[in-house]
Amino acid sequence: MEYPNFKIRDLAVEDRPREKCLRQGLGGLSNTELLAILIGTGTRNRSALDLARTLLQQAGNDLHQLAKMSLAEMEKIPGIGQAKSIRIQAGFELARRRKATPPSVRPRIRCSQDAFKLLEGSLTDLQHEEFWILLLNRSNQVIEPVRISQGGISGTVTDVRLILNAAVEKLASALILAHNHPSGNLSPSDADIKITKKIKEAAQLLDLSVLDHLILSDQGYMSMADDNLMP
């Protein structure tokens, strides 16, 4: 049986794990505080921190033992009901799955052909123009491809602010620009060259490198970097 809830927000601000997490990051929280976040709410007389402390003591302050506790064992502690027990075990299960899953290998961009292969599925068959960027880390590994805008048959609006915002949010070090020409013409227009220059100059203020600008169609692609057209 669950008791009436004692909420974390009822504690003093300095005792609230979530607020402490925002100030210091998860790494600054104790095991008790992390567990209290999973527990969420306490009871009428006991805070989530108090319940977390009791639960850890029951496991001998050993996270390995806590992970092995069954739902029934957790629920013997007053204030730890089924819902709280399941949340705690779900946290441990996610940790197990992460440990058992090898990290994914990010593709590395070594040349314009690598970038084209990543983008052709998204851009080559469209009947309208779209503008995309590839966000890269310092090793030129792809962090994420991002669609910036979608337009009509003959053009799309490209907002430099959206491009830089996406790069800063993902902590990118470099980016590759790309858009498609539904007409099949792979030659860059004056507008294409001007927007490339504008983006490159703005990116330099944030120590971001613009490595290339690809134009794609169902006929293939062209690279401004390969053709020495980068401003």
pLDDT, averaged across the chain = 88
User: What confidence tens digit (pLDDT) does each residue in 91-135 have?
Assistant: 999 999 988 888 788 999 999 999 999 999 999 888 999 999 999
CB 184 within 8 A of CB 222: no
**pLDDT greater than 50 at residue 14:** no
**C-alpha span between 76 and 192 (Å, rounded):** 67
Phi, psi of 191 (to 5 degrees): -65, -35
User: What confidence tens digit (pLDDT) does each residue in 140-155 have?
Assistant: 999 999 999 988 776 7
CB 123 within 8 A of CB 179: yes
**C-alpha span between 173 and 181 (Å, rounded):** 27
CATH 1.10.150 domain range(s) in the chain: 6-100
User: What confidence tens digit (pLDDT) does each residue in 52-100 have?
Assistant: 999 999 999 999 999 999 999 999 999 999 999 999 999 999 999 988 8
**C-alpha span between 30 and 34 (Å, rounded):** 6
CATH 3.40.140.10 domain range(s) in the chain: 112-223
CATH of segment(s) 112-223: 3.40.140.10
CATH of segment(s) 6-100: 1.10.150
Place of tokens 């009822």: 10
Mean pLDDT of the 183-207 span: 94
Under the banding of pLDDT at 50, 70 and 90, the label for residue 15 is low
- Residue 154 pLDDT: 67
Under the banding of pLDDT at 50, 70 and 90, the label for residue 8 is very low
